[in-house]
Structure 1
Amino acid sequence: MTDNAHDKLAERLAGTLLKLNRGDALDRDELAAEYGVSSRTIYRDMGRLGNVVECDAKGRYRMVAEYRGRLSPRDLENFARLVGVEDLFPRNSASFLLALLDTLGNSSFLVRGHHYEALKPHDPAFLQLDEAIRDQRLCTLNYADKRRTLAPYRLINSKGIWYLAATDAGTLKSFALSRISLLVVSDEAFEPDPTAQRQIDEDDDVWFSQEKTEVLLSVAPQVAYYFKRRKLLPLQQIDKELENGGLIVSSRISDQNQILPLVRYWIPHVRILEPGWLREALERDLRAFLA
């Protein structure tokens, strides 16, 4: 398939999907005339859209009611983030939609993601929590040998591991799903806290905390490319590019365990400059290991 054909396919799928999303019933022949293609081509397009599309008694295509009106650029971005491909596509929402839909048609992308844990989204606990989040109902469960009552907000996949973002006595925390047991969804409802919802959306990790510590690091020229190519540290920012090709990089963390394992991985090419207490903690760990 040529690049021009790729572009036309992506544009056609994007336009069709947006029409379906707003509730339109689409006639195959009318779509064929609009896009200047055959009726058979439209039939193949609908096949590419899979289970989100159904054909009614009059032969018109509609989006399945479960999805109708619910698709947004933010939804697509969340999906892309979940499967680890968000950085492959442009940030502009219209371009993002076209690029993401383009993957349905030409197989020009091959994405090798993380290794994932065995837990699947159709497991009973996952389904129970999904329902509790949608219905805004409290849950009781065992976690770290303690019975807890939580207000569940979101199921998050971070680096291939599923977590529950929930408030415990008003404090936002994350709980690994694989460590949750004896889950019971209560009939008691709770009122979501907008501040907690906003923090979940804005943080790029599952270490939730109102207090963030800024960490300053030096990155050697030998590995600078990897830190420029994508963000390897929590909330990473490149502060300065040095004349020798190295970098000064900053990161913002909620807990030292967010960053110490990463720095250890890149030793000796990455060093902690500030804060001093974090650099000393790393040095203590290294001395204990060598001893």
Structure 2
Amino acid sequence: MMGAQTTGDFLVVRVMQILIRLYNKEHLSKAELALEYGVSERTIQRDIMQRLESLPIAKDEFGRYYLKDTNLLKTSKDDLNKLAALFGLSSFPTRLSDDFINMLLSSPVSPLKSQNYEAVCNIDSFEILSKAIMEQKIIKAIHNEKARILKPYKLINHLGVWYLLATYNDEIRTFTMYKLKAIVVTNEKFIPDENVLKNIKEQKHFFATSLEEKEVVLEVNGFAREYFLYRKILANQEIISKDKDKLILSTKISLDEELLSTIWQFIPYVKILAPKELALKNENIIKEYLGYLKT
């Protein structure tokens, strides 16, 4: 039920993310990248050694990849555009301005937090928020019809939806990007909270951290069984039981949409066993959607 992503989309975005992270002076582990992007270590090695072979990439004493020269800004823009054109991806990041790409690749602060793959977003808002993050400036915006004063830390793409990770009243929160209106970057700078930075680095989930988590039990069968078993589709999933036909697993969520947007990709092979109210909510959403298609 979500927009289809082609193999080329996943490939080019993965390589672009790796490229941007290298230019942000990160040292990248092949094993960690493979786990993060759900591909083999051989694929990651091919990304770096073949698709980015024109760049001066080396290994440190721990075998992690890093970029020896981070001053090749023109080369980086050219590489981004060539990759996008090669794989037919025109929405990210080729529509970003040259000035913004230069800033993105030269800033010591990365505005992005990788979450498997990127999806199309509002480019103007993306640039405004990214600059605010890199310049560590407080922003004002309307979210859910309420005025907010935010300290922005990261932009996260989660299950195809962009979110701004920011502190609001000194509490770390996520704000759905398309719901942010009237964004204004102030001239007031903030000093990033070290505890927030540590939390960002260590946590796998950043959604509704102030909300109580609830456990959800799923039944997974058919072709989806292999995906959930071997690729760990849900970051905190735990397998309760398994046989050759199906899996029973549990996961914890804070927002229903965190889970629903994932399992919709595997309909009809994933069923919500508990809690019953979430199963009913899911059923009603699907019925409403199917009714819309008939009109």
Give the TM bin, normalised by the shorter chain.
0.5 to 0.7
Q: Any gaps of 5 or more consecutive residues in structure 1?
A: 1-51, 53-65
User: Following superposition of structure 1 onto structure 2, how do residues 23-172 of structure 1 map, counting pairs within 5 Å?
Assistant: 67=23, 70-73=25-28, 86-90=37-41, 98-104=45-51, 105=53, 116-120=119-123, 123=124, 125-172=125-172
Q: Quick one: which amino acid aligns to residue 227 of structure 1?
A: F
Structure ranking higher on relative contact order (CA contacts 8 Å, 6+ apart)? 2
Q: Are residue 214 (structure 1) and residue 165 (structure 2) matched?
A: no
Helix, strand or coil at the partner of 2:245 = coil
% identical equivalent positions: 27
On the 8 A contact 1:163/1:176 being kept in 2, the answer is yes
Partner of 1:20: none
**Aligned-pair distance for 1:133?**
1.9
Structure 1 residues 287 and 89: CA distance shift in structure 2, 3 A: closer
Map 1:7-26; keep pairs closer than 5 Å.
none
- The secondary structure found in structure 1 opposite 2:272 is strand
The number of equivalent residue pairs is 212
Indicate the residue corresponding to 2:12 in structure 1.
Answer: none
- What is aligned with 1:246? 246
For residues 48-101 of structure 1, what are the alpha-carbon distances to aligned partners after superposition, in whole Å with 9 as ceiling and x for unaligned?
xxxx9xxxxxxxxxxxxx958x23117x899x69xx9822243xxxx8974441
State the Cα RMSD in Å. 4.2
Shift of 1:132: 2.5
Q: What secondary structure sits across from 1:200 in the alignment?
A: helix
- Note the C-alpha offset of 1:157: 2.6
Q: Residue 118 of structure 2 contacts residue 157 of structure 2 at CA under 8 Å; is this kept in 1?
A: no
Question: CA shift at 1:277, angstroms?
Answer: 4.0
Secondary structure of 2:140 counterpart: strand
8 A contact 1:158–1:205 mirrored in 2: no
Cα offset, 1:131, TM superposition: 3.2
Say if 1:155 and 1:196 are closer, same or farther in 2 by CA, change over 3 A. Answer: same
Output the CA distance in 2 between the equivalents of 1:279 and 1:209.
Answer: 23
**What are the superposed Cα offsets for residues 201-225 of structure 1, whole Å, 9 maximum, x if unpaired?**
3444552325322222121245312
Look up the SS of the partner of 1:88 in the other structure. coil
* Counterpart for residue 104 of structure 2: none
Q: 1:158 is matched by which residue type in structure 2?
A: H
Structure 1 residues 188 and 273: alpha-carbon distance in aligned structure 2, compared to 1, 3 A threshold: same
Structure 1 residue 166, shift from structure 2 partner: 0.7
Deviation (angstroms), 1:276: 4.1
Task: Report the Cα distance in structure 2 between the residues aligned to 1:144 and 1:67, rounded to whole angstroms.
Answer: 35
| Per-residue Cα deviation, 1:204-263 (whole angstroms, up to 9, x for no partner) | 455232532222212124531232242333533334322x43111222211112223444
User: Whole-Å Cα distance in 2 between the matches of residues 235 and 132 of structure 1?
Assistant: 31
Q: Distance in 2 between matches of 1:201 and 1:239?
A: 29
**What secondary structure, in the 3-state scheme, does the structure 2 residue paired with 1:259 have?**
helix
Q: Output the amino acid matched with 1:246.
A: K
Match for residue 226 of structure 1?
Answer: 227
Residue in 1 aligned with 2:97?
none
User: Max radius of gyration: which structure?
Assistant: 1
Equivalent position SS for 2:38: helix
Counterpart residue number, 1:10: none
Q: CA deviation at 1:154?
A: 0.7
